[in-house]
Structure formats: C-alpha cells, structure tokens
C-alpha cells in the first residue's frame, strides 16, 4: 500500500511537472500542434514507468536492507514467477505498439500533401542557406532569408552543394537533412506571424554553429510585395550598380555571404570562422584582396586552415560583383 | 645494447615503429616514381600508409607475433614456460603477456587512462560552452574536442573496459585456466593503446584533429583536413582488437566451461559476454568497411560517397549505423551481466527469472540488428522504412524491460547489502530506466524529427552510456577490486564517490533534455543567448562531476597500494572466481572445479555452485575456506 500511494502521488507530481515545463519553442506551423500533443502523451506514459521503478527500488532499500545481525542471512530462494514474467512482457509490448500506432497517425497528418502548395527550394552550402522561390515568369527569386506567407501550405525541396546540412526551423518542429546528390523535403503550413530562427542541425564543418538564417512569416499581401521587390534589384544590377556591402552581408544566391564567416566592422558582422578582415585586409591593395577572394588558399592566415573558404568565388561572383566587393573591402577594411 | 634491440620489448618496438615508417616512405617513393608523380614523397600518402605500418612494426617489435613467425617459418617455437605469467612489477604490464589476468588489468587500466583523458576533453568543452560566444578554443579545436571525446570514450573506454573486466573474470567464472587463445588475447590488447594514441596524435596533424564527430559522416569526413585519417585508421585497430577478443570469448565460453557447467548454469555475466561477442563478431566489420571506404575516397580518389562521381552519400550512414546501433548494445549488455551478478549477491537471493534473463539477452542481439535506421529518421532516406524501424525500436525496449523488472523482483524481500557496488547497481537501475524512456521517445518519429541533432540526444546518450554503462563499470570495478588486486577499497570513499557521481550526473545531464527540446543544436561551440543560464549551470555541475571521478582514482590507487588484504570471498558469493585466493593463483585453479548447481542459489539450504576437485559433493562447508558458509540461514519474512 505504501508503495502504491506514494507511487500515485509521485506520478501525479511528475506528470504535472512534465506538463508544466515549457518544453517546446514557440509554435508557428499547423504541424507543431499534433507533435506537441504527442509529446505530452509520452510524458503521461513515461512518468509512471520511471516512478514505478524508482519506488520499488526505494521501497526495497527501506524495507529489505540488511539490519545489524543479519550479516549471514539470505533472502528466500524465489527463482521466478511465470505469470509475473508474462505480464511484464505483454503489458509494455501492448503500450509500445499502441504508442507507435498513434505516432504513425500523427506522422501521416503532418506529412500529408495540402492543396495549393507553394514550393520553396532550400539549398545548403558551407555555411549559409539559400532559399529559391520559383517564378512562373523566368528566374527564381533568391534570398538568404526565408519569407513565408501565413496560412499558405509550403513544400520545401531541400538540396546540398557540398556536405550534409540539416534544414531545421524549430518553430515549425520539422527538419530534414540536405544531402548532396539527392533531393529531400518536407511540408509545413505556417500559422503564426513572426520571426523565427533557421538552424543547420547537422554538423557541416567549422562554421556549423553560425550557419543560421531567419524565417519571417508575413501576411500574404506583404509576401507578394516582398517578391516584387526582390525581382526589382536584379534590374538595378544590370545598370552596373552593385552594392558591395550588400553583397558582403547577403551574398548573391550562388555565392555564400562573406559576412557569414568573417568579421568586418563596417558591415557589422562578427563571425570568427574565417580571419577578421579588419585585421588581415588593413592596408592591403586591391590586387591582394582580389587574389584572396578567388584563390583563398594562396596565403593562409596563421591559426586558420586551408580549404575552409569555398575556392569558387571566381565562378560564383560576376566580374562586376567581384570588382564591387574588392572596392568595398579596400575602402572599409581596418578603417 | 644490441641485445636489447634483438629481444622482444619496448626497444625493439621503437625500432619496429621506425622501420614501419621507413617502409612507408619506401613504398610511396617507389609507387610515385613509377607513376612519374611529383613530389616523390607526398605528405598525406606517407602519413596514411605509416599509420598502418608503424603500429604493425610496433607490434612485431614488441613481440606480439614472435611465436607465430617462428611457427610459420618452420623454426622451433619457444615453448611457453609460463615464466611471464603473472606480473611481478609494474614493468611486466608493459610486455606482451599471455596471462588473462594480466591482460585484464592491462585492459582496465589502459581504458581508464583514456577515460580520464576523454573526461578532461569534456571539461574543456563545458568551459567553452559556459557562455555563448567564443572564449577559450577556436571552432576547429572545439569540433576536435567533441569528436575525440566521443571516440575515446566509446572505442577506448566503454567497449574495452568491459572486455578487460570479462577478460579477468570470465575464465575464472567458467572454471577455465585461461582464455582459449592467450597469444591472440595479448595481441588484441596491444592494438588498443595504439588506436587511442593515434586518435590523440591527430591534434598534432596539420589542420587540427578529426572534427567531424565520432560518426564521421561522409562527405564531410572525406573533405576534412588530414587529422581525419587518424580516426579512420585508428578505428581499424580498435575494431580488429574488438573482433579478436570477441572470437576469443566465444571459443572460450563454448569450449572451456568446467565439467558440469551447462549453458543454463552459466553466470549471467558469461551469458552477457557471449551475447556481446556475437554482436561484435557480426557488426564490427561494418564500421571497418565504412572507414575503409572513407579512406579510399580520400587517399585513392574513389567515389563511394561522391554523388558527382556516382557515389551515394546515404550509403555511409546505413553501413555505419548497421554497426553503431548494435554497438550501443555492445556497450550495454556486459553491464547487464555485471548488474545481474551484483544484485543477486548483494540481495542474497537467486536472480529472478534466470532463463528469461538469458533469453532476453539473445532477443536483444537479434532485434539489435533491425533498428539501425532510427538514427536516420531525418536523413532523407526512403520514407517507408521509418515506421517498421520505429516499431522494432520500440519493441526492443521489451526485453530490456524484462531485465529491469527481473532485477527489481530480485531485490524484493532480499537482504540488501547497501555497499558501494550495490549503490552503483541501484543507481544504474533508475538512471538506465530514464535513458530507456528517452530512447522510446526517440523511437517515436514525429518527436525525433524535432529533437534529432539537439541536446536532447546528448542527454539521452549520456543517460544510457553514463547513467547506464559507466555506473555498471564502476559497480563492477568495486565488486571485483578485491579479486583483482587482493586488497579492499575504502568503503566510505566509495560511497562518497557514488553520491557525488549520482547527484552531479543528474544535475549535468537532466537539463540538457530541456534545452534540447527548446531547440539548442548539439555540436556547436556557440549558441543563442536564451540558453546562457542553463549552460552556465550545466558547466558548473559538470566540473563537480569531473571532480567526483578523482575520488574514484584516489580510492583505487591508494587502496591498490595499501588497502587491507582481501580474503578469497569477501562478498560471500557462489560463483567460481570466489573459490580461489585473491588474487587468484597463476593458473586460476590448482584443479579444474566441478559445477554442481546454478550460480545464484542464495537462500537454498546447502546449495553449492561449484566445488574444487577432490571435495565431496555436496559439502556445505565448502572445499576451501571460501564462502560456502552462507545458505543455511534464510531470512524469514512475515
């Protein structure tokens, strides 16, 4: 009786605490609800299991511990009890199968295709994300940050350029690896306005911890405006006006933003994956800066490794962009 | 002086290492000149070849192959006069020794050296993680620290320390004079420190140590700096050591049991190591393959994992986890065996449901091979395999549950001796249950999608490997310490060690569940400001946890040097290792014992498990001065 009463009390407290803890981050997708509910049910099942084991141990310690004078005593020679063994094989098995069945239902719910899905291509590359919005009229819109219209079902199609990354928005509860050579993906429907982090969850190299982006869930009208804006600057660059600073902080869709890995006071970036450009580029001429961008392994700053910086900036930047970037860095680095 | 380099030993081993390296230069030089490559001695090529040849040179120099070389060359082999059996001074532990008791201690001590190094790395990581941003180490060093931490503690501590304890105890338990293949046993041990030293040496490699995690996922591990190959090749030596030992255990258990010891009279520790060895022999070749494929991709330009060359990135994970999930049970089943021994002895009761305990081990062996893809629920593999793997993963909790419930029933109405080994066993029961529960949560796919690669995983693995495996290791070391050293440990320090470990373990790892679900990813040196408070608390607790390990080290060293002498059976246990003196005589038993009953007949009046030959059966007073004195009195409850 002692055990049962204490067990019930402890289970009740455990479950109450388990449900009271604010486990999950904000939820911003229709997928989050069923997942969070499933987790609550796991708490309901788990706490009594742990309490049962612990209570039996504590009860045994209290009641069956060796007292003075019992040093030579043995316990009763109980070798087993078939009925008991069948029970504690069958009951956990049934509970587990039921849980799995419920999980299967949840899984089907959260992965179900929705009508009128919008497709977004997600590309992972050391150490930044690129989001592509295919457009009916021509080139897709590319962005370093994820914009999504509220209540619009989305299907992400996820790829990786170099190594495995993992596309995770904790507020949406969903993640999938970005794997070189294959296309992966998942579906969500954002249902809450706000700004949420995008996280790379799979170790992808030295800059893994800084491979972050931002998700903005906005009203559909605001999303349309944003798309239209994104199309506009593409024309501006045809006039020969490339903003070196924007290129540094945001990249161009194909080339990873320099600021993702380098510190530069003027651009307000502070990552330490690569050398601090205010130090290493101070008083350097344009030719040196250009060579460092297109052939980063030519000269390695002490304390850093070869092969970390992508060697393909010569290809991913147009000559105008490269020139703008070199000019920008020459003007501001170390100033 | 020359004689020192001719005979087996450390001098010749150093010479062998140098010759192995020189041979690597020669082979690479010859091949590269053949193909007209420039330069003749390419650094990475020489390094990768010498990582194989230098250790082999070391082993040959040390004398691990002497007998076989003589035999293969048709020369008269030197008959083993057993002069090297037993260890007379600390120097003897640095030689090739074929005595399973010496090898057992070599294994355990070596493993604990790597345990403290790996633990130190954890302390450095926690120092860096105490605050967001970058304080002490750069990202390359940080990634190296967690990679080497995991690799050392998995491949150089948990797996071999179990092999070491079993090496010492198992032949004694089944009444055998030694392992079936003593020379192979010695070779298995000596491959181990080489693997560990190799992994540590990687910190000296250009570009830093291997930093792609202990999972070493391709293609990151294929493109990583040269330090990666120290893992790729080091694992080959640790794996070969593991496989050879497992074969040795299997043959020993199958062929060398004492008369009368049927399979169902074997102590559960023997059953556990039988099951573990089956797992090792079947699974370990898979990790060897996965790392060879990475090596071939790196060194020879193969395209196993290069999609633009027709390779398949996910193939690496399938092969890797086909080993590394069973490896979780390789790291747990021997602990189950230890707990079964201790709980029966310290509760003074037979183990509850002995046969189910043995069968559940075998069930875990079989099921263990059907769950690997649950590590890949977010990997992008084919969708349909996830649900079957979820079900098998949940179902494997059933045999584990059977064991937990049987242990609890063993405690019931016993006479519990709450000393250090027992406290660690009870701590294991509760903590491993928590690890099992979070394991079932991780089987549930929709939850895993959110928490995979977060601190929830870090919490789970530490509840299983620290709260599970490590607590059983501590329990086992305290339990067999008198048998191995002939001395008693300090009981008060032992209990203090338990309580500090238990409290600070929970204070360190329990909060990780919370920050994991909140969204903190693992394997990062920097994190968002919102987790600063939790991480500071975790770091402080982890330092106390680190300090508690020093209590253990102090207790072991001081007690080994000057603890009170242990008699042959301080725990009043029935299994055969307690029939002989502590430490046991050179050939374990002066005469092979005869087994006449089950191993856990506590409370059965007059029951005996085994008797030394010559003794009459049954003879309640026992054949030696050892512990057959119990059994007459049974605690009468209610």
- DSSP characters over B12-42: HHHHHHHHHHHHHHHHHHHHHHHTT-SSSS-
| Structure confidence at residue A276 (pLDDT) | 85
Together in a domain, B131 and B263: yes
Measured between CB atoms, does A106 come within 8 Å of chain B? yes
Higher per-residue pLDDT: A241 or A135? A135
Question: Same domain, yes or no, for B38 and B108?
Answer: no
> Does residue B595 have a cis peptide bond before it, meaning omega lies within 30 degrees of 0?
no
Considering the segment(s) A118-236 as one domain, its CATH architecture is Sandwich (2.60)
Q: What is the ipTM of this complex?
A: 0.89
Is residue B19 domain-resident? yes
Interface test with A, best of B521, B569, B627 (most A CBs within 10 A): B521
| B628 in a structural domain | yes
Chain B partners within 8 Å of A25 (Cβ)? 518-519
Summarised one tens digit per residue, pLDDT across range A74-122 is: 999 999 999 999 999 999 999 999 999 999 999 999 999 999 999 999 9
Q: For residue A210, which residues of chain B lie inside 8 Å, CB to CB?
A: 526
Same-domain pairing of B126 and B253:
yes
Considering only CB atoms, which chain B residues are within 8 Å of A86? none
Gap between the Cα atoms of B471 and B458, Å rounded: 17
Please report the pLDDT score of residue B135 as a whole number.
85
More confident residue, B555 or A126: B555
pLDDT category, B251, cuts 50, 70, 90? very high
Find, in chain A, the residue whose alpha carbon is nearest to that of B515: A23
| Chain A interface test: which of B209, B380, B411 (most A C-beta within 10 Å) | B380
Report chain A's mean pLDDT, rounded to a whole number. 88
pLDDT range class, residue B628, cuts 50, 70, 90? very low
What would the mean pLDDT of B432-450 be, rounded to a whole number? 95
Does residue B211 contact residue B147 with C-beta atoms inside 8 Å? yes
Backbone angles phi, psi at B541, to 5 degrees: -60, -40
- B628 three-class SS: coil
Domain range list for chain A = 2-65+82-111, 118-236, 240-332
Q: How far apart are the C-alpha atoms of B503 and B548, rounded to whole Å?
A: 10
Flag if A53 and B433 touch (Cβ within 8 Å). yes
Residues of A in contact with B637 (CB under 8 A): 76
* CA-based nearest distance B570→chain A, Å: 12
Same domain, B111 and B184: yes
For residue range B256-308, list pLDDT tens digits in order. 999 999 999 999 999 999 999 999 999 999 999 999 999 999 999 999 999 99
Tell me, yes or no, whether B40 and B142 share the same domain. Answer: no
Which residue pairs from B51-55 have beta carbons closer than 8 angstroms and sit at least 24 positions apart in sequence? B51/B198, B51/B229, B51/B230, B51/B233, B51/B234, B52/B24, B52/B233, B52/B236, B53/B20, B53/B21, B53/B23, B53/B24, B54/B17, B54/B20, B54/B21, B54/B24, B55/B17, B55/B20, B55/B191, B55/B194, B55/B198, B55/B237
Q: What six digits make up the tokens of B304?
A: 């196993």
- A251-273 residue pLDDT tens: 776 677 788 778 888 887 877 77
Using an 8 Å CB-CB cutoff, list chain A residues near B387.
100, 104, 107
For residue B147, what is the nearest residue in chain A, using CA coordinates?
A: A203
Cβ of A34 under 8 Å from any chain B Cβ?
Answer: yes
> Residue B189 belongs to a domain with what CATH number?
1.20.210.10
Residue B280 Cα, gap to closest chain A Cα (Å): 27
Which chain A residue is nearest to residue B434, measuring alpha carbons?
Answer: A50
Same domain as B64, residue B104: no
Closest residue of chain B to A162, computed from CA coordinates:
B219
On whether residue B320 sits in a domain, the answer given is no
Q: Classify residue B197: in a domain, yes or no.
A: yes
pLDDT attached to residue B625: 37
Residue B143 shares a structural domain with residue B107: yes
Q: Which residue of B has its CA nearest to A62?
A: B416
- Angle CA B255–B278–A82, to nearest 5: 90
Give the per-residue pLDDT at A239. 53
Please list, in sequence order, all residues whose beta carbon lies within 8 angstroms of the beta carbon of residue B180, skipping any fewer than 6 positions away: B248, B251, B252, B255, B256
Distance, CA of A230 to CA of A227 (rounded, Å):
5
**pLDDT confidence of residue A316:** 77
Question: Torsions phi, psi of A140, nearest 5?
Answer: -70, 155
A180 with B413: Cβ contact below 8 A: no
Question: In this predicted structure, what is the pLDDT of residue A254?
Answer: 65
- CA atoms of A123 and A325, how far apart (whole Å): 23
- The region of weakest confidence among A194-198, A317-321, B125-129 is A317-321
Backbone angles phi, psi at A208, to 5 degrees: -50, -45
Chain-chain contact of A208 with B143 (C-beta, under 8 angstroms): yes
Tell me the average pLDDT across B236-254.
97
Residues B59 and B162 in one domain: no
Residues B123 and B248 reside in one and the same domain: yes
**Whole-angstrom Cα distance, residue B634 to residue A310?**
75
One domain for residues B173 and B103: yes
A33 to chain B: closest CA residue: B446
For A102, nearest residue in chain B (alpha carbons): B444
Q: What is the pLDDT of residues A274-298, one digit of tens each?
A: 888 888 888 888 888 888 888 887 7
Question: Within this chain, do residues B110 and B245 fall inside the same structural domain, yes or no?
Answer: yes
pLDDT at A234: 52
Contact B408 A60 (CB under 8 A): yes
Let me know if residue B288 belongs to a domain: no
Average pLDDT rounded to a whole number, residues B100-118: 96
* Residue numbers of the domain that contains B26: 2-72
Q: Do B350 and A174 touch (CB under 8 A)?
A: no
Q: Find out whether the peptide bond into B583 is cis, omega within 30 degrees of 0.
A: yes
DSSP summary character for residue B454: B
Alpha-carbon distance of B160 to B333, in angstroms, equals 13
**Stretch among B177-181, B204-208, B485-489 having the lowest mean pLDDT:** B204-208
A69 touches chain B (CB under 8 A): no
Determine the distance in angstroms separating the CA of A145 from the nearest CA of chain B, rounded to an integer. Answer: 18
**The pLDDT of residue B147:** 96
Does the CB of A104 have a partner CB in chain B at under 8 Å?
A: yes
Which residue has tokens 């202990």? B214
Distance CA B288, CA B240 (A): 8
Mean pLDDT for chain B overall: 91
Q: Which of B217, B246, B270 is the last residue of a domain?
A: B270
Residue B637 has pLDDT above 60, yes or no: no
When pLDDT is averaged across residues A228-237 and rounded to a whole number, the result is 67
Q: Would you say residue A310 has pLDDT above 80?
A: no
Cβ–Cβ gap A42/B635 under 8 Å = no
A42 → closest Cβ in B434, B444, B518? B444
Does residue B129 sit in the same domain as residue B15?
Answer: no
DSSP-derived letter for residue B152 is I
Q: Please give the pLDDT value at position B82.
A: 66
Report the pLDDT value the prediction gives residue B103, as an integer from 0 to 100: 95
- Domain stops at, among B235, B270, B305: B270
Give contacts of B225 with chain A, Cβ < 8 Å.
305-307
Q: Cβ A201–B411 below 8 Å, yes or no?
A: no
Least confident stretch, A169-183, A291-305, B91-105: A291-305
State whether A201 and B404 contact (CB < 8 Å).
no
B399 pLDDT above the threshold of 60: yes
Question: Are residues A103 and B633, on separate chains, in Cβ contact within 8 Å?
Answer: no
State how many domains chain B has: 3
* Mean pLDDT in residue range B194-209: 92
Q: Do A77 and B603 touch (CB under 8 A)?
A: yes
The answer to whether residues B156 and B111 touch, using CB atoms and an 8 Å cutoff, is: yes
pLDDT per position as a tens digit, B594-605: 999 999 999 998
**Predicted pLDDT of residue B83:** 65
In angstroms, the separation between the Cα of residue A248 and the nearest Cα of chain B is 22
B610-624 mean pLDDT: 55
The CA distance from B456 to B511, in Å, is 9
- Whether B365 is covered by a domain: the verdict is no
- Residue A175 touches chain B, beta carbons under 8 Å: yes
Spatial distance between the Cα atoms of B535 and B515, rounded to a whole number of angstroms: 9
| pLDDT at residue A27 is higher than 50 | yes
Q: Is A179 on the interface with B (CB under 8 A)?
A: yes
Q: Identify whether the C-beta of residue B522 lies closer than 8 Å to the C-beta of residue B142.
A: no
* pLDDT over threshold 60, residue A240: no
CATH architecture of A240-332: Orthogonal Bundle (1.10)
CA distance A20 to chain B (A): 12
Check whether B635 has a pLDDT greater than 60: no
| Residue among B134, B447, B521 whose CB faces A38 most closely | B447
- Domain membership of residue B446 (yes or no) is no
pLDDT of residue A230: 84
pLDDT, tens only, B50-94: 999 999 999 999 999 998 999 999 888 877 666 667 777 888 888
Say what the pLDDT of residue B4 is: 80
Residue B118 lies in a domain: yes
Q: What 8-state DSSP symbol labels residue A165? A: E
Distance CA A162, CA A179 (A): 9
Counting residues of chain B whose pLDDT is more than 70, the rounded percentage is 95
β-strands A194-200, A212-218: how paired?
Answer: antiparallel
* Average pLDDT of the residues in B107-129: 96
Q: Which of A130, A185, A191, A135 is nearest to A161 (CA)?
A: A130
pLDDT at B590: 85
């Amino acid at each position: 009786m002692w055990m049962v009463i204490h067990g019930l009390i402890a289970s009740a407290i455990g479950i109450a605490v388990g449900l009271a803890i604010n486990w999950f981050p904000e939820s911003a997708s229709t997928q989050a609800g069923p997942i969070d509910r499933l987790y609550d049910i796991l708490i309901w099942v788990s706490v009594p299991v742990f309490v049962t084991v612990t209570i039996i141990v504590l009860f045994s310690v209290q009641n069956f511990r060796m007292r003075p004078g019992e040093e030579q005593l043995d316990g009763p020679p109980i070798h087993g009890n078939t009925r008991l063994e069948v029970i504690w094989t069958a009951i956990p098995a049934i509970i587990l199968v039921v849980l799995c069945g419920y999980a299967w239902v949840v899984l089907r719910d959260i992965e179900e295709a929705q009508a009128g899905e919008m497709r977004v291509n997600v590309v992972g590359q050391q150490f930044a994300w690129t989001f592509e919005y295919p457009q009916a009229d021509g080139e897709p819109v590319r962005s370093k940050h994820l914009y999504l219209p509220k209540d619009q079902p989305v299907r992400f199609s996820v790829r990786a350029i170099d190594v495995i990354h993992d596309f995770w928005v904790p507020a949406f509860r969903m993640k999938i690896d970005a794997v070189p050579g294959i296309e992966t993906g998942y579906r969500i429907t954002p249902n809450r306005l706000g700004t949420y982090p995008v996280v790379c969850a799979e170790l992808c190299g030295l800059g893994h911890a800084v491979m972050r982006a931002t998700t903005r869930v906005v009203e559909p009208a605001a999303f349309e405006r944003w798309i239209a804006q994104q199309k506009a600057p593409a024309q501006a660059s045809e006039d020969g006006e490339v903003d070196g600073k924007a290129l540094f902080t945001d990249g161009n869709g194909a080339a990873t933003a320099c600021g993702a890995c380098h510190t530069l006071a003027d651009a307000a970036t502070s990552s330490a994956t690569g050398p601090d450009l205010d130090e290493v580029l101070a008083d350097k001429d344009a030719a040196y800066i250009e060579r460092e961008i297109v052939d980063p392994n030519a000269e390695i700053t002490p304390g850093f490794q070869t092969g970390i910086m992508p060697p393909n900036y010569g290809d991913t930047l147009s000559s105008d962009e490269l020139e703008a970037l070199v000019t920008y860095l020459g003007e501001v680095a170390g100033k | 002086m020359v004689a020192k380099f001719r005979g087996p030993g450390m001098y010749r081993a150093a010479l062998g290492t140098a010759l192995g390296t020189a041979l690597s230069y020669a082979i690479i030089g010859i091949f590269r000149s053949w193909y007209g490559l420039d330069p003749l001695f390419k650094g990475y090529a020489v390094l990768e070849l010498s990582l194989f040849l230098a250790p082999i040179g070391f082993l040959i120099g040390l004398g691990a192959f002497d007998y076989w070389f003589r035999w293969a060359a048709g020369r008269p082999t030197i008959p083993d006069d057993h002069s090297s059996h037993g260890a007379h001074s600390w120097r003897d532990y640095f030689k090739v020794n074929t005595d399973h008791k010496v090898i057992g201690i070599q294994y355990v001590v070596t493993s604990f050296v790597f345990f403290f190094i790996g633990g130190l790395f954890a302390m450095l990581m926690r120092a860096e993680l105490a605050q967001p941003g970058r304080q002490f180490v750069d990202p390359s060093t940080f990634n190296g620290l967690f990679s080497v931490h995991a690799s050392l503690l998995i491949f150089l501590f948990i797996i071999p320390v179990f092999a070491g304890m079993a090496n010492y105890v198992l032949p004694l338990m089944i009444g055998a004079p030694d392992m079936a293949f003593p020379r192979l046993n010695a070779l298995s041990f000596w491959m181990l420190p080489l693997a560990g030293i190799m992994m540590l040496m990687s910190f000296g490699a250009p570009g830093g140590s291997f930093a792609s995690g202990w999972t070493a996922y391709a293609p990151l591990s294929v493109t990583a700096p040269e330090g990666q190959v120290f893992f790729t090749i080091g694992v080959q030596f640790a794996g070969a050591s593991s496989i050879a030992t497992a074969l040795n255990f299997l043959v020993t258990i199958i062929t060398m049991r004492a008369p009368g010891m049927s399979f169902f009279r074997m102590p559960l520790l023997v059953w556990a190591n039988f099951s573990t060895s089956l797992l090792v022999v079947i699974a370990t070749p898979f990790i060897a393959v996965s790392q060879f494929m990475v090596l071939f991709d790196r060194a020879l330009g193969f395209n196993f994992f290069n999609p633009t060359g027709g390779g398949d990135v996910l193939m690496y994970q399938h092969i890797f986890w086909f080993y590394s999930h069973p490896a979780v049970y390789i790291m747990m089943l021997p602990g189950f065996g230890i707990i079964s021994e201790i709980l029966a002895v310290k509760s003074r009761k037979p183990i509850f449901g002995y046969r189910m305990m043995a069968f559940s081990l075998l069930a875990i062996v079989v099921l263990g091979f059907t769950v690997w893809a649950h590590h890949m629920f977010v990997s992008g593999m084919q969708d349909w395999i996830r649900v079957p793997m979820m079900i098998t993963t949940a179902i494997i909790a059933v045999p584990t549950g059977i064991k937990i419930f049987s242990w609890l029933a063993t405690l019931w109405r016993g006479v519990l001796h709450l000393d250090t080994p027992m406290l660690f066993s009870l701590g294991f029961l509760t903590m491993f249950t928590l690890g099992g529960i979070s394991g079932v949560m991780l089987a549930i796919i929709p939850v895993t999608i959110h928490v995979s690669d977060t601190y929830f995983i870090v919490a789970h693995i530490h509840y299983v490997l620290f709260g599970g495996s490590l607590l059983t290791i501590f329990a086992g070391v305290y339990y067999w310490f008198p048998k191995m050293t002939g001395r008693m440990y300090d009981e008060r320090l032992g209990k203090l060690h338990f309580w500090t470990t238990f409290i600070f373990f929970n204070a360190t790892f329990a909060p990780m569940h919370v920050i994991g679900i909140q969204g903190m990813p693992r394997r990062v040196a920097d994190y968002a400001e919102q987790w600063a408070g939790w991480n500071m608390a975790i770091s402080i607790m982890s330092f106390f946890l680190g300090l508690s390990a020093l209590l253990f080290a102090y207790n072991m060293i001081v007690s080994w040097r000057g603890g009170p002498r242990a008699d042959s059976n301080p725990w009043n246990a029935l299994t055969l290792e307690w029939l002989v003196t502590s430490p046991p005589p050179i050939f374990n038993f002066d005469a092979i014992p005869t087994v006449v009953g089950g191993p856990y007949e506590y409370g059965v009046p007059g029951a005996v498990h085994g008797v030394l030959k010559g003794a009459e059966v049954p003879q309640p007073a026992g054949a030696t001065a050892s512990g057959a004195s119990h059994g007459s009195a049974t605690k009468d409850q209610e």
